[in-house]
Amino acid sequence: MRRVMSTAVAVLGLGLLAAGCGEASKSSDESSSSGSASAESYKIGITVPSFTFPYYLSYKEGAEAEAKKLGVKILWADGRNNPSTQGPQVETFLVQGAQGIIVVPNDVSATIGAVKRAEGKGVPVITSNRALNTDYSKATGPDAAKKPQNPIVHTGFSDPDVGALQGELVVKACAQKVGAGKPCTVVNEKGQAGSSSTQFRDKGMAKVFAQHPEIKVIDEAYNDYDPAKALQVTQNLLSAHPKFDVLTAPDDNAMTGQLKAVEKADRQDSLLIVSLGGTKQGLSLVEQGKVFGTIWLPPKDDGALAVRTMVDVLKGQNLTTSTVDGVPYVKVPIAGVTKDELSKYPPQW
């Protein structure tokens, strides 16, 4: 078995090496071709947590569209859902001559070292969509790009805000289900145990619930954002709790599995589902009345804003920021959406 393991590790290592070489040679081709472009065009590196998440596919579309408008060239890197991949990717961007780097970290701390090293090379870094757990720059003014203190700013939305919005939507659902201020039981189904997005959304939601003593979370479980697992987890929760008022979903994709379980158990009339995401499918289920509401997240706006902000930093323009928990922040609007507000929020993914 040991020999098998070491063979496997060796083969894997070789594979990764080969893949890495492939990427590097490919991107160096790209950079040489872009070298002849006008001096106005910036080269920006963006690393995202994983392109297996549909969110980041739409995020990429939004970012590319904005980059085309602004004459920016984007180098993409896929974090492959692994905390240790994104630091090296940032270093690679530096080697490739990126003038600015946008990090969408899949871990709150793993890329901090690389982000700080970019300072030494005078390359500004901003975070987008997910923040890093570190001190952000105090200077977001015109000189931010000259002697950058990374990360300079965070763009997009924050997970605590997302959680708080979902919490408020739960309160609204409770008011409709049992009447405002009356005791309301909630089963909270979450994403991935231990992941930063799940933890921070949880915090935001808990803050809202703390102000609403009528809301009682009677159970919670994790479905790993996987509709198939969500179906099973929800079936078990429905068996464990013969009656409750509101069921939360960690995203619209997993929610479809939860909805299936609710319909199979014939409980769709006795509880309301509050989801999160604002996908085509999620919003259409809200429209059909099968889901009470969802949080509308705009990946295309999110990606576009990140590129726009990076260009503003590079051009030395003042950023309009607000500060959340000490982090300078350029926000993209998000919203809790029920059937009544659907027309204002077309899906972006």
Q: Which residues bind another protein (CB under 8 A)?
A: 4-5, 7-8, 11-12, 15, 51-54, 57, 193, 219-222, 226-228, 231-233, 235-237, 239-240, 242, 253, 256-257, 260, 264-265, 281
Rounded to a whole number of angstroms, the minimum distance from the CB of residue 15 to another protein is 7
**73 touches 97 (CB < 8 A):** no
Torsion angle defined by CA atoms of residues 44, 50, 54 and 57, in that order, rounded to the nearest 10 degrees: 20
CB of 102 to another protein, least distance (A): 20
Q: Give yes or no for a contact between 329 and 321, defined as CB atoms under 8 angstroms apart.
A: yes
For the chain, the distance separating the N- and C-terminal CA atoms, rounded to the nearest angstrom, is 45
Closer Cβ to another protein, 17 or 57, answer by number: 57
Query: E-strand spans in 4-85?
Result: 43-48, 73-78
CB of 123 to another protein, least distance (A): 29
Q: Which DSSP helix (H) or strand (E) runs through 262?
A: helix 252-264
Cα–Cα distance, 313 to 136 (Å, whole number): 14
Q: H-helix or E-strand containing 257?
A: helix 252-264
Helices (H), 109-226: 112-120, 159-178, 196-210
> How far apart are the C-alpha atoms of 299 and 348, rounded to whole Å?
6
CB nearer another protein, residue 138 or residue 280: 280
Quickly tell me which residue has 């392109």 as its tokens.
51
Toward another protein, which CB reaches closer, 55 or 157?
A: 55
Least gap, CB of 202 to another protein (angstroms): 12
121 within 8 A of 90, measured Cβ to Cβ: no
Detail the DSSP E strand segments found in the chain.
43-48, 73-78, 100-103, 125-128, 154-156, 184-190, 215-222, 246-248, 272-274, 293-296, 322-324, 327-331, 335-338
- Nearer to another protein by Cβ, of 57 and 210: the residue is 57
d(CA 312, CA 155): 12
Shortest Å, Cβ 112 to another protein: 26
Measured from the CB atom, the residue of 244 and 329 that comes closer to another protein is 244
Rounded to a whole number of angstroms, the minimum distance from the CB of residue 321 to another protein is 32
Residue nearer to another protein on the CB measure, 222 or 296: 222
Least CB distance from residue 157 to another protein, whole Å? Answer: 22
Nearer Cβ to another protein, position 52 or 109?
A: 52
Query: Residue 224 Cβ, how far from another protein at the closest point, in Å?
Result: 8
Q: Which is nearer to another protein, 29 or 220 (by Cβ)? A: 220
